[in-house]
Amino acid sequence: MGAPYINRGSTIILIILSLTALLTVASGYIQPPQPDDAREHIFQLAIAALAPVMLVFLATADWTQPLLSARPLAFPAAAAVAAFAALYVLEHYR
């Protein structure tokens, strides 16, 4: 199993984790928050897991072509930023 396969797998995991964070925050708009809500813990775990998976991605990327190597990060980064923006709005304005 070479670096390209590990890089592709870490890209998929990054997408899954960032979407998990976004969807758990988005579910807060549908259902009212409960005390000791499990969604909070799922969001925290998804965000905490992003860091080591990101390190694996960066370590296995082919940096001879930096633009092509960084392109798969666009969607997970946008989803993570959207999750934090939605969380900010949910915490401060709802």
List for the chain the helix, strand, coil content (%; round to 5): 85, 0, 15
pLDDT, tens digit, for every residue of 12-47?
Answer: 999 999 999 999 999 989 987 777 778 899 999 999
Angle, alpha carbons 30-33-37 (nearest 5°): 115
Q: Dmax over Cα atoms in the chain, in whole Å?
A: 49
pLDDT score, position 55: 97
Q: What is the mean pLDDT of residues 71-89?
A: 96
